[in-house]
Amino acid sequence: MAIFWGGTFIAGRTLAQQIGPFSAAFLRFVVASACLLMIAWGRRRQLQPPRPKHILPLVLLGLTGVFSYNYFFFKGLQLIEAGRAAIIIATNPVFIALFAAIIFKERMTALRVSGICLSVLGAMVVITRGEPAVIFSGGLGWGELFIFCCVASWVTYSLLGKAVLADLSPLTAVTCSSVIGALLLLFPAVAEGLLEGWPYSITVWGSVSYLGIFGTVVGFVWFYQGIQRIGPTKAGLFINFVPVSAVLLAFLILGEPITGSLMVGVVLVSCGVYLTNRP
């Protein structure tokens, strides 16, 4: 899962340079929804269909994990490097652990608090490129802010998922939220110029296919299976491997530089996530 998600930053960065964020997100989830619906149809006898009480939670999942997350994801990747975005998003499990403690009363130990502080410090090193004074001088970029909005969206999606998965299977929850999110993205994508760029290049469709199949169908379902079995905090631990793979892939494929502040951020965030989720 983590390796697949590491690759989404490379595909997302490539895609974000060619089409708008709403269009990129819509195409991603059209591909993902088509695949998920086929899988769900093949397993229809094993799945429990959603009931009326699930409609609002599923719409909220579509709004957070699909609509808002992906808009901010592609918008941010238009402005900053894939590796830098991956390190910021690596703070996801830390904030999941923090809010799981607040909302679900999960235990928050001194070790976890230390991990949260360490991860936030690592993210700040990456965001400011090793110059924390940038925050106070107003030099923080829009790209970093957009990616931080991704974090907020994913944390909300993960915590909502814990409640939804009490009644629904991971495949049902992901399929429904994916379809709802794609429908919500349709009109903004058309207004943005979705149809004007048609037909798209092979590069665009290759990126869309990777994001839809591996980044969404495989990644989202496996992640929700993890939440269902071990809870959101422990499942979030595996996001720890995403920034490492993303930075390496960005260096190998996109030729992005590996700077000192980036490596320090990788170490701090990784150590912080480990401490936050350590048994």
Contacts of 111 (CB under 8 A, 6+ apart): 275, 276, 278
**Closest alpha carbon to 240 in 91, 82, 70, 99:** 91
Question: In the structure encoding, which two tokens stand for residue 119, read together?
Answer: 């991860």
d(CA 235, CA 240): 10
The model's pLDDT over 69-119, given as tens digits with 9 standing for 90+, comes to 999 999 999 988 887 787 788 777 778 878 877 887 777 778 877 877 777
CB 240 within 8 A of CB 266: no
Pick from 162, 158, 138: nearest CA to 150: 158
Ramachandran quadrant class, 201 (left: phi over 0; alpha: psi -120 to 50; beta: rest)? beta
The yes-or-no verdict on residue 64 having pLDDT over 90 is yes
Q: Which residue has the higher pLDDT, 167 or 278?
A: 167
What domain range includes position 208?
2-277
Tell me what pLDDT residue 233 has: 57
User: Where does the chain have alpha helices with state H?
Assistant: 2-16, 21-42, 55-61, 69-77, 82-89, 92-103, 110-127, 133-136, 142-164, 170-192, 202-212, 219-236, 241-249, 260-277
How far apart CA 140 and CA 132 sit, in angstroms, is: 10
The number of folded domains in the chain is 1
One-letter identity of residue 132: P
Cα separation, 112 vs 279, whole angstroms: 10
Tokens of 54: 């699930």
Q: Which residue has the higher pLDDT, 233 or 214?
A: 214
**Tens-place pLDDT, residues 149-173:** 999 998 999 888 888 878 888 888 8
CA gap 165, 155 in Å, rounded: 15
Measured between alpha carbons, how far is 116 from 228 in angstroms, rounded to an integer?
23
Tokens representing 118? 């360490």
Angle at 113 between CA 111 and CA 119, to 5 degrees: 100
pTM of the complete model:
0.79
The residue ranking higher by pLDDT, 267 or 149, is 149
Torsion of CA 193, 61, 49, 44, to 10 degrees: 60
Q: Find, among 87, 208, 221, 199, the residue nearest to 151 by Cα.
A: 87
pLDDT at 272 (0 to 100):
76
Question: Quick check: 209 pLDDT over 80?
Answer: yes
Distance CA 193, CA 170 (A): 33
Share of residues in the chain with pLDDT > 90 (%): 28
Tokens of 142: 């829009």
Q: What is the pLDDT of residue 112?
A: 75
